[in-house]
Each structure stands twice: as structure tokens, then as C-alpha cells.
Chain A
């Protein structure tokens, strides 16, 4: 694998770890903010390197489009937390969780395409489609369950350590 591919995989690993930590840990703490910044940085590196990888088809393809969607989701999650205006927390929570869900979809797709029986473009497409759909469905359930309590409710973060 080339240097760019290794960099892409390392950024993915950092984002997977930092994202899991942010999702599990208490929200609004100093550690939440700093781990979130690490996640933001890792995702930026991951998507920029994804946009520079052309080994699969040799031209702009669906995965480059997904990288742009991932960047848009990431920025949509980060901007509310940066500006802190109005009811920003539900937006921040939902977009950030969908950003991580997208990363998980990509990781599971990456694994699925390397299964021993996945040969040729048809099976490759089915593997990506099934992996993405399954992770998206599970994510939608958990994201709504986690974000719904934030809707229309102000949380006093001063009480959080």
C-alpha cells in the first residue's frame, strides 16, 4: 500500500477511536471538546486523503462523492458548536453522530469488500450496499434515541464536570 493509503488508514483509525470516545463520554466536558477536536482533525485528514485516492477506478467515483457528503456532515455538526447560537445542541449532536455513523458505514464496507467470496464489481457493490444499509439502519435507531431528549430542552452544562 502507498503512503497516502497508509495515511488515510491511520486517519481513519484515529477518527474511529476519537469518535467512539466522544460518543461514550459525558458531553460538554473539557475532554469531550478536545477529543471532539481530535475527531474533527482526523476526519478532515481522512476525507482530504480520500479525495486524493484514485486507485479504485482512476477517476472521480461514488466514494469521492461520499467523502464530500462526509465533509458536509462534519461541518454541519461542528458549526453549531462553534457558533453556539439558539438551540444548537440537537443539531450538533445529530450531525456529529451521523458523521460518525458515516465513518462506521465506510469501515464496515471496507471490511465487507474484503470477504473471501466478494469478487467482481457486482459483489463489490452488493457488499458496500448491504454493509452501508445495515449500519445506517442501526445508527438511525440509536441516533434518534440519543438526540431526541435534546430537542427543545436547554441543558445546564455548568453542572457537568
Chain B
């Protein structure tokens, strides 16, 4: 996947996750939605971060 897309998912997911936690802490309605949002945001961010380190294939066998 494109590196800039992964960067966007990494940062965007973390923001969504933190907003979900902040919304829950602030007592905004629909806590289930906020917990779901936070969970998937953090997981997506982590997956993107994990994929970011993969070295690019150069095509060289040596």
C-alpha cells in the first residue's frame, strides 16, 4: 500500500481513537459507538504503523 496512505491511516486512526476515548470520558451520548470508534481507530492505526516498516522490494535476489 502507498506509504502516504499508511501514514494517513496511522495518524487518522490514532486521532479517531483518542476522540472516541475523549468523547466517552466527557460523557457524550452513545458510549457503544464511541467505544467501537476508539477500538477500531487504534487497531487501524497500529496495523498501518506495522505495515509502514516493511522494506520495499528491490527485485534483487542478492
Contact = CB atoms under 8 A, between A and B. Distances in A.
Contacts of B25: 1, 5-6, 9
A17 interface: yes
A111 B7 CA distance: 27
Interface string A129-161: 000000000000000000000000000000001
Interface residues of B, number: 27
A114 B50 contact: no
Interface residues of A, number: 28
Looking at chain B's contact residues, the main secondary structure is helix
Contact of B49 (A10, A17, A29, A116): A17
Given A6-B21, A114-B31, A107 B51 contact: no
Interface in A18-55: 18-26, 29, 31, 35
Looking at chain A's contact residues, the main secondary structure is helix
Nearest to B25: A6
B22 to A, nearest CB: 9
A161 B31 CA distance: 42
Given A110-B35, A114-B31, A25 B21 contact: no
Contacts of B53: 25-26, 29, 31
Interface of A: 1, 5-6, 9-10, 13-14, 16-26, 29, 31, 35, 107, 110-111, 114-116, 161
